[in-house]
Amino acid sequence: MTLPTFSNAHRLAIQLALRLALGAIPGLLLWSAQAAPVKVADVQGHVLQWDAPPRRIVSLMPSLTESICALGACDRLVGVDRYSNYPAQVNQLPKLGGIDDTQVETIVALRPDVVVVTPYSRVQDRLSALGLKVLVLETRSQEDVQRGFQTLGQMLAVPDALQVWHRIEADMNAKAADVPASLRGMRVYFEVDSAPYAAGESSFIGEILGQLGLRNVVGRELGPFPKLNPEFVVRANPQIIMVGQRNVGGMDGRPGWRGIDALQAQRLCVFAPEESELITRPGPRMAEAAGLIVQCLRRLDPAAPGPGKTRPRS
Read off the amino acid at residue 16.
Answer: L
Report whether the peptide linkage leading into residue 196 is cis, meaning its omega lies within 30 degrees of zero: yes
pLDDT digits (tens, 9 = 90+) for 229-261: 999 999 999 999 999 999 999 999 999 999 999
d(C-alpha 159, C-alpha 153), whole Å: 7
Question: Is a pLDDT exceeding 90 seen at residue 15?
Answer: no
If residue 115 lies in a helix (H) or strand (E), which one and from where to where?
A: strand 114-117
Q: Does residue 42 sit in helix, strand or coil?
A: coil
pLDDT of amino acid 302: 66
pTM to 2 decimal places: 0.85
Domains of the chain: 8-159 (3.40.50.1980), 179-300 (3.40.50.1980)
If residue 156 lies in a helix (H) or strand (E), which one and from where to where?
A: helix 142-156
pLDDT digits (tens, 9 = 90+) for 32-74: 445 689 999 999 999 999 999 999 999 999 999 999 999 999 9
135-151 b/e (C-beta count within 10 Å ≥ 16 → b): bbbbbbbbebbbbbbeb
- The phi, psi pair for 244, rounded to 5°, reads -80, 155
Q: Are 42 and 117 in contact (CB under 8 A)?
A: no
d(C-alpha 271, C-alpha 101), whole Å: 28
Question: Is a pLDDT exceeding 80 seen at residue 25?
Answer: no
Query: Which among 188, 190, 209, 208 is positioned nearest to 198, based on CA atoms?
Result: 190
pLDDT digits (tens, 9 = 90+) for 273-306: 999 999 999 999 999 999 999 999 999 986 755 5
273's CB contacts (< 8 A; 6+ apart) are 244, 245, 246
